[in-house]
Amino acid sequence: MIAPITITQIDLNSAAASGTLDILTIPGTRAGNQTNVAAWTGPSSLGNPITTLGAGAPSPCTLATPLTLAPGTYGMAFRANGFAHYYTNGTGANQNYATAELTLAAGEASNTAFAGNLFTPRVVNCSIHYTLSGGNFATRTNYGTGCPVPCPASIYENFGSAGAFDLNGTSILQIGTTFIGGTTAFVAPGASAAVLPLIDDSEVTITLGNPHPLPCSGVATTLQVCSNGFISTASNGVSFTPSVPGMLNAPNTGWWNHHDFNPAAGGTVTHEIIGTDDVISWNAVADFGGGGFSTWQVVFSSSGTVEWRFQSMSATGGSGYVLGYSPGGANVDPGSTDYTVGLPKTLCCSDIPAVPLALNASARPVIGTNVSLVTSGIPAGSPFGAVLFGLTQFNPGIPLSLAPGCVQHNEWLNSILFFGSPTLPTSVTTNAGFFNPVVNFPGLVLQCQSAVYTPGGPGLGLSSNGVEMKIDIN
């Protein structure tokens, strides 16, 4: 059976900005008409609002005017207003995609819509959501979005020059994996403070008077203090060049205020035990090459908190500052956080990427055929999950309090569990009893969604987009 389709949503890979999306079509082929806007007479859907999620994440755009296309061939153009498209270079093997109902053949791109040079081959990064018209026609329709909201394991602010540092007289408090603005001012070292034997580009091991619980697991009883402003659970070297990649890929967990300090040229670095706290202070420590002095401290508490306290930081010297925290090993770059406006912020014990949990059906649920439900984007370390079924569609979904950033897309009347051994791969195929083969219930509409349990995330787990499955004979 051949039936019209109605496009209801387009997902795009776009730069982080807001704007509107215009969709224009032309009967037949686009060839020869890419710079002739007058030839594109529609159907069209203009001025659709879109808020993009940044490169690599599908940015959903629900069409204010759904676009219905009769069976046939059409040229289609996506015109961005106020934002920019990301794309994939064509290779000849990645420019065509087909479902049972439509075929996409990419394509070209231009920097200005319907004008200027055509760049080819270019492959549009998109998902097309559509429904089918006509009686007795089985359909599968994705709706909504999956989570997670990206959750990094690291945090930093990169001050490219010393003069850009703007936290004098303030503090930053780490409570487990949550960072907030602190309230405690710098406290000058007392008579019991021990001067650490640090010179230019050097490090020393200190024994904590109060063992310090680490944010996700373990306890530190010693710390490695580098003269250049970072403290680690074990040596991270003595580099004098502040570096975001250096912090994010350091082998050991560290707390950083990386700058080219030189205690040999002036000032001291001290360690003092005050009650349940271990206080490490830079007291009027000189920049390498002279020109400025910095006074600040880091306080490690037996309760597990860490606090950076800044009295006055040098605005000169040959390097800026990289200020933050990162667990040991390779970590995803979360981008620089402006601490003056970007807190509070909660991290994860390990990076949770921006790729959302996704559910897709392998085919339309035509009675008597087999259909699989495929859950993809499952983070490593997720021991189990489920495909959840209902009869009522929630779109937009209902927020899940136990999974921040995630939503429920149906009432979850039934479920099919799947398990990992020892961990799940990136995707799992589920064969539901009523889809293998599809049962003889023409007209029955089922709502489907996946969820997985993911330890170490911002909540108890992740949820996928929804999939509506209308069972029928064609």
Read off the pLDDT band of 423 (50, 70, 90): low
Q: Which range (126-135, 251-260, 457-466) has the least confidence? A: 126-135
Same domain, 342 and 379: no
Which one of 317, 346, 375 terminates a domain?
346
Same domain, 316 and 176: yes
User: What pLDDT was estimated at residue 223?
Assistant: 98
pLDDT in tens, 30-41: 888 888 888 887
Q: pLDDT by residue (tens digit) across 160-218?
A: 999 999 999 999 999 999 999 999 999 999 999 999 999 999 999 999 999 999 999 89
On whether both 291 and 367 belong to a single domain, the answer is: no
- Domain identity same for 71 and 6: yes
Summarised one tens digit per residue, pLDDT across range 343-376 is 999 898 888 777 788 999 998 899 999 999 999 9
Domain end: 312, 346, 380, which one? 346
How would residue 1 be classed by pLDDT, with cut points 50, 70 and 90? Answer: very low
pLDDT in tens, 71-113: 889 999 999 999 888 888 888 888 988 876 788 999 889 888 8
pLDDT at 425: 64
398 and 441 co-located in one domain: yes
- Average pLDDT along the chain: 90
Task: Verify that 50 and 194 share a domain, yes or no.
Answer: no
CATH number of the domain where residue 459 is located: 2.60.40
Residue 113: give the domain boundaries: 1-134
pLDDT exceeds cutoff 50 at 284: yes
Kindly state whether residues 143 and 172 are assigned to the same domain: no
371 and 277 in a common domain? no
Together in a domain, 258 and 282: yes
Pick the more confident residue, 13 or 259.
259
- Domain endpoint, select from 105, 134, 163: 134
pLDDT, average across residues 53-72: 86
Length of the chain: 474
- How many C-beta atoms lie closer than 10 Å to residue 194's C-beta? 13
**Domain match, 142 and 191 both:** no
Total structural domains within the chain: 3
Residues 306 and 250 in one domain: yes
Q: 342 and 471: one domain?
A: no
